[in-house]
Amino acid sequence: MSVQIEKNLRINGDLTAGEDLTVDCTFEGSIQLPGHHLTIAKGSKVNAAVAAQVVTVHGDFEGQIEAEVVHVASGATLTASVVAKKLAIQDGALVNGSVNTERARAASDIARHRAAQKA
């Protein structure tokens, strides 16, 4: 199942969801989608702190992203601090900010180690 937030909306706040989400509007705040996919649609403007399994940016994004995988599509603008295991940037995308894949890998290793200790 997937939820889409439509154009012509301006949202300011904190959003948490347990399913995939497409943002097709102006959004400011935080978005938490543990284990799910966030899509920033073309024409959208998002200024947020995001945590999701996968983030795909087609529009304009500013803020922080923590995800397993981040895709930045052609024509998209990403101005952010990114912590991700994988980052894919298509030709024609504009990316400005920091990218840290080692921290994501280290955090994942620590989580696996702690889970093994509990078992």
Residue 82 CB neighbour total at 10 angstroms: 23
Question: Tokens 């649609």 identify what position?
Answer: 41
What is Dmax (Cα atoms) for the chain? 49
- Evaluate if pTM is beyond 0.75: yes
Share of the chain above pLDDT 70, in %: 87
Q: Note the pLDDT tens digit of each residue in 1-57.
A: 555 666 678 889 999 999 999 999 999 999 999 999 999 999 999 999 999 999 999
- Domain ranges across the chain: 2-118
Q: Note the pLDDT tens digit of each residue in 98-108.
A: 988 876 666 76
